[in-house]
Amino acid sequence: MYSDVLLVRHGESEANAAGRFASHTWDPHLTLVGKEQALQLAIQLHNAPIRYVVTSPLARAQETIEVLATDHGLTPTILTDLSEVNLGQWDGQQLKTLEQSGLESYRAWRVDPEKNPPPGGERILSVGRRVLQTLAEFIRTHQEPGLTVAATHADCLKGACLVIMNAEGPATRRMLVPNTGQVLLRHWDNGRWSIVLSPLYFR
């Protein structure tokens, strides 16, 4: 027996459009583009057998999943551990500024975010573990069959996949998660997770 969880990155946020990091000290909303992406997500999953909708507490994730949840007559459950990676001292800073700064800590993080997390920030595998743990606990306490859709953040998707594959930190730099990008995860009754490489077709 198993339960499926579709992890979805939020739509384009004000931080994405501005080229800024946004972790915990700034909670940007979706842009008009992001709102359109959220609508398209709802259209894509209109006929999906969704039983539960869960979301990061951050505004961009909640706004992304709102249309979908309403379409299915569901109320999203907020799971704190689906929140964005803690970026420590880099939270709110411009990516371009950090790239041009010459900081060794930033260059090292770009190579391996596990061995070299942001100053005061979080390691990528720690992100993945907390995401999978909170989803496993949600599944354990919600036994009705059906798909769970989880609105979260790019590094949450990456970290979860790294943990499942038992991969090293540098592998995250070979993963691209666009806004409203998705990955389907399967949680087995024995506690094991799998990544399901299958298209989603709902009639």
Q: Is pLDDT of 127 > 70?
A: yes
Domain boundaries, the chain: 2-86+123-196
| pTM listed for this prediction | 0.95
Average pLDDT, integer, range 134-152: 93
The phi, psi pair for 98, rounded to 5°, reads -65, -40
Q: How far apart are CA 91 and CA 121, in angstroms?
A: 9
The token duo for 9 is: 């990155």
Mean residue pLDDT of the chain comes to 95
Residue 168: predicted pLDDT: 94
Residue 7: predicted pLDDT: 98
The token duo for 5 is: 């969880």
CATH architecture of 2-86+123-196: 3-Layer(aba) Sandwich (3.40)
Residue 67: predicted pLDDT: 97
The phi, psi pair for 156, rounded to 5°, reads -70, -45
Residue 202: predicted pLDDT: 64
The DSSP bridge pattern shows strands 147-152 and 182-188 to be unpaired
Q: What angle do CA 79, 184, 179 make, to 5 degrees?
A: 70
Q: Which amino acid is at 82?
A: L
Say if CB 187 and CB 143 are below 8 A apart. Answer: no
Q: How confident is the model at residue 12 (pLDDT cuts 50, 70, 90)?
A: very high
Residue 125: predicted pLDDT: 97
Q: What is the pLDDT of residues 151-202, one digit of tens each?
A: 999 999 999 999 999 999 999 999 999 999 999 999 999 999 999 997 666 6
Q: What is the pLDDT of residues 55-71, one digit of tens each?
A: 999 999 999 999 999 99
Q: How confident is the model at residue 143 (pLDDT cuts 50, 70, 90)?
A: confident
